[in-house]
Structures are given as C-alpha cells and as structure tokens.
Amino acid sequence: MKIDKEETKQFYETYIPCNCSDCKLYIKHIESLYPELCVGLKEFDIDPKRPYELISLYHPQEHQMEYGACVYLVVGEIEEDFKKIIGDFEIIVAEQNQYPEASVNKPYFFLTFGPVHIKSYGTSNRHLTYKEKLKLVLQAINEVDPMHLLSQGCPKDEYIQEAILILKEIQIKKSIYLNWKKVRALFLKQFNEKLPYKICLELAKKIAVYFDFKDYIRDFDEIESLKGKVSLENDELILKVHENFIVKYLMDRTVLINDKPFIKDLEEQDVLDFFCDFVNDEDVIYIQYKHKHFGFFHYPKLYYFTEMKSTKFSWPNVKHFFDVELVFNNKRVLYGVGSKEIKKLTEEEIIERMSKESMPVYYELGFISPDKKKRLFVKKNHAGSFSYQLERLTLVDPDEIEYFDYDAYWEPDSRFTASFYDSIESLLKDIDYIIKDWKKIE
C-alpha cells in the first residue's frame, strides 16, 4: 500500500461533499457517534466529514437512517484484497468503476465500510410548523380527491377534518410514512365508505413525498436567488424562472423545461445546483424546438433544446431555425411567445452561418471563397504527405426546407487529389490559381 498523504490532504481541502439531507445528517453526526472509526480514517488522511459517496436507506419504524456503504477517496495505490478492522467496522477497497470519476491526476482508490446507523425522525418533521404540515396533508388529499368531493364542486378545504386527523396520526407515530390500512380506516370512519387499496396507497405515498420535498424546498428558500420561485405540485418540484421558462423535476429524476424533456437521471442532490444555474447564469440562451433534433447537448442523442452563449447568439448561428419554437434566457423571451416572430433566414445569413459549420476535425490550412460558397482544406495524410479537398455549398430550395432537416449543406467539389505533395508549400504553389483571392480560415 502506497498512500500519497500530501495529495490526499489537498483533495479533502477542496472537495465539497453532497448537500442532500441524508448526507448532511451523516456529516453532522459521524464524528460524535463513531469517534473510533473517524480516528482510524484519519490515519489514511481521510476527512470523515467529506464522504465521496453514501448509499442510504431510511427505516421509518426504527426512526433510523442506514448508510449501507460509506465511500472515501485516497490518493495512492493499494492491494485489491486490502482489509482493515477499525472498531466494529471492516474497511475494504471498493470497486472504482462503481462511483463517479474523480478529478485527480494521480492514481487513487476508494475505501468503503458500513452499515452506519444514525437516528432520524424523518427530514420533514424537524423544521415544519403545524400550519405548514397541515397544508401539505390537505394538498395531498385534494390532489387524490378520494371521495370525489372536489370534482363535484366542493371547496378546497372540504377535507380539512381528515387532514387534521392524518396529521395527528403522523405526530403520534413520529413518522411521515403512513400505512395504507390506517388511511383506509380513517376515511371509513369519516365517510362510512371503504376506499380501494390503490387510492389509500397513493395518498399515503403522496403525503410522504410532499413532507420530504417540503423540507427539501426549505434548502432552496435559503438561497436568495431561488427564494419564492420553487414549489411542489402534483409530485413535481417546480422552478418558475419566468412565465415562459418553467423547470420541473419529476419523481423519476427527469427534468422538463416548458413540459418538454431536457435531461434525464438527474440525482436529487444535484437539483439545487441545477436550479441555481438556471436562475443565475445570465450568459446562456436556450433554444427550444418543436421537434427533437440530434445533437451533443449532454451526450449524443435527440433533443428538444440546445444552449448558446449570448455573445455567440445570432440567427445565422442557429441550426434548424425553421423548427424553432422559443428562444429565451433567464430574464425574458427573445423570440416566440409574447415577442417578435422568429424570422426566416435570408440566403446571405444562411451562407454566413454555413461558412462556420461542418468543418473537418483535422486540417492544416483552410481557405474560403469571397462569396463563401466554396472552401478548400489542406490535410496531412498518414504517410506524412499533403493533399487538399475542395467543397461547394448547396442551398436547399426554400419551398423544400420543411421536408428536410437542414437548409444548406457542403459537398465535395472534387475528392482528395490524386497527387500527394511532400510539403504544404509545393501544394499551395500548385493550387494558387484556385485560392488566389480566397480568405484564409482562422
């Protein structure tokens, strides 16, 4: 085992652990509840209050949070079968590919142990006032509307008595996780009608989710830029940046913008940072399309959105302009609803945009004609010789654009020359008659 103590110390000095409620609970209590374990971790120059990854499970009946795997990073090298006993815990090496890659330039490994148990009475019951709790329970009941009272025109406080009784049960049990049978029994007593299992289960789950997320929202309200902009409706965490920029985080970890998929599999602990970026980053312009288009937004796939820096934004730089539905930033709509109509590009604007698109990945020199309808690229071949490729720009007929996914494209005017040159100088001399008045591509 070889531990780079200095690099490990530097890592923990700058590393910021996850900020979710489960991780905060662990960080707050690990040193006071498990002092012997923490002393042992510090022998590896690990900071016990900065875990790299925690896998947690809440046990409502025991009012206990269980951390099945507590993972820490150490810079250095270690044997795969390494084991060390610290108190009641066996410290072993974790498989590196199971966890996110660390921004460390030297070899590193992960140590893991568990389970760690910390007493918890549910995140929701620690901070909320009685009035806030009652409002959450009533909201959950109203959305399920188990007796169909609201659908018949009854006022929104029609279930207030049932909400009071459910909240009383939560306070007695000291748990937000209600048994569906308890929900059925309560409504049977109130209405003399036996509710279906699915409705009782849905209501019990919704109450737990709302309590959990309400406490979660309090973290958002502590940040000035997010204050009053985040709410919980129909099991969705909603950020209203402005009327035409509404972000939703769903229970399946999907993020929607204006009800269109934006990104999938966003971890709960990353939502806060994600929302802050939406509100604070004034240099980003979002382009929303009517249909999906292939791109490299987060990874290669089909997207409804693309992003662009405000300094780079101009219509000639926007792809698939004919399918653009909305263009906006975190302050206002730039084009679309409530703004001027999205204009069609002129031929000159299309040519200007295309002069910067579909560039080869590798080339030594590039030239473009004065009318920007022809390009020439000098390339170095595997054998070390040089050749060139000439391209011409083809514009799609305006009446046919709606049938294509593009309005213009580059195609070879002639393929790689049959001649291969020993030097760029000799090649340029040979093609000088072609590029005499052309501009060099920077």
Instruction: Examine the domain organization and report whether 334 and 357 are in the same domain.
Output: no
Which one, of 179, 177, 183, 176, lies nearest residue 162 by Cα? 183
Distance, in Å, from the CA atom of 40 to the CA atom of 43, rounded to the nearest integer, reads 5
Q: How many CB atoms lie within 10 A of CB 59?
A: 13
What pLDDT score was predicted for residue 400? 57
Q: How far apart are CA 394 and CA 411, in angstroms?
A: 7
Q: What are phi and psi of 383, to 5 degrees?
A: -80, -5
Residue 373 lies in a domain: yes
Residue 318 in any domain: the answer is yes
Is 174 in the same domain as 74?
Answer: no
The residue type of 60 is: P
The answer to whether 176 touches 61, Cβ cutoff 8 Å, is: no
* 274 and 321 fall within a common domain: yes
Same-domain check for residues 132 and 147 = yes
Q: Do residues 155 and 176 lie in contact, with contact meaning Cβ atoms separated by under 8 Å?
A: no
The Cα 98–Cα 306 span in angstroms is: 30
| 3-class state of residue 62 by DSSP | coil
**Is 87:37 a contact under the CB 8 Å cutoff?**
yes
335 lies in the same domain as 235? yes
Q: What pLDDT sits at residue 241? A: 94
Residues of the domain holding 295: 230-343
In-domain check, residue 408: yes
Q: How far, in Å, CA of 427 to CA of 250, rounded?
A: 58
What is the length of the chain?
442
**Element (H or E) spanning 152, and its range?**
none
Q: C-alpha angle with apex 81: 77 to 85, nearest 5 degrees?
A: 95
Strand partners, 288: 305, 326
Q: What is the pLDDT of residue 181?
A: 92
Angle at the Cα of 173 from the Cα atoms of 167 and 174, rounded to 5 degrees: 80
3-class DSSP state of 135:
helix
Distance CA 389, CA 367 (A): 11
The residue behind tokens 């498990």 is: 34
Supply the pLDDT for residue 334: 82
First vs last C-alpha separation in the chain: 51
Helix (H) or strand (E) holding 71: strand 64-77
For the record, the structure tokens of 431 come out as 């093609």
Query: Within this chain, do residues 112 and 184 fall inside the same structural domain, yes or no?
Result: no
258: its two tokens? 């204006």
Structure tokens at 378: 């000098």
Q: 366: alpha, beta or left, given left = phi > 0 and alpha = psi -120 to 50?
A: beta
Final residue belonging to a domain, choices 291, 315, 343 = 343
**Structural domain contains residue 224:** no
Per-residue model confidence (pLDDT) at position 31 = 92
pTM of the entire predicted model: 0.46
**382: which DSSP letter?**
T
Question: What is the dihedral sign for C-alpha 29, 33, 34, 36?
Answer: positive
Of 186, 217, 248, the residue that ends a domain is: 217
Would residue 319 count as lying in a domain? Answer: yes
Please tell me whether residues 106 and 140 are part of one structural domain: no
Whether residue 431 is contained in a domain is answered as yes
Q: Under DSSP, is residue 399 helix (H, G, I), strand (E, B) or coil? A: helix
- Do residue 147 and residue 236 come from a single domain? no
Dihedrals φ, ψ of 255, to 5°? -105, 125
Q: Is residue 223 part of a domain?
A: no
Instruction: Kindly state whether residue 251 falls inside one of the protein's structural domains.
Output: yes
Structural domain count, the chain: 4
How many whole angstroms separate alpha carbon 301 and alpha carbon 297?
Answer: 8
Given a contact cutoff of 8 angstroms between Cβ atoms, the answer to whether 38 and 102 are in contact is no
Both 310 and 363 in a single domain? Answer: no
Q: Looking at the structure, tell me whether residues 69 and 175 fall in a common domain.
A: no
Looking at 196, 217, 238, the residue that finishes a domain is 217
Residue 210 shares a structural domain with residue 319: no
* CATH number reported for the structural domain that contains residue 181 in this entry: 1.10.340
Helix (H, G, I), strand (E, B) or coil at 365: strand
Distance CA 187, CA 194 (A): 7
Q: What is the CA radius of gyration of the chain?
A: 30
Per-residue model confidence as pLDDT tens for the chain (442 residues): 788 989 999 899 888 888 777 888 899 899 999 999 999 999 999 999 999 988 888 887 777 889 999 999 999 988 888 889 998 899 999 887 777 677 778 889 999 998 999 987 544 444 567 888 898 899 999 999 999 999 999 999 999 999 999 999 988 877 788 889 999 999 999 999 999 999 999 999 888 878 877 666 666 777 788 888 988 777 788 999 999 999 999 877 899 999 999 988 887 767 888 898 899 888 899 999 988 887 655 555 678 998 888 877 776 677 777 788 899 999 888 887 555 454 567 888 888 878 887 788 788 999 999 999 999 999 888 888 998 989 989 887 766 555 444 677 888 886 555 578 899 999 999 889 989 999 999 8
Give the angle subtended at the CA of 265 by the CAs of 56 and 245, to the nearest 5°. Answer: 120
Reading the block at residue 71, the tokens are 């993972």
Residue 156 shares a structural domain with residue 258: no
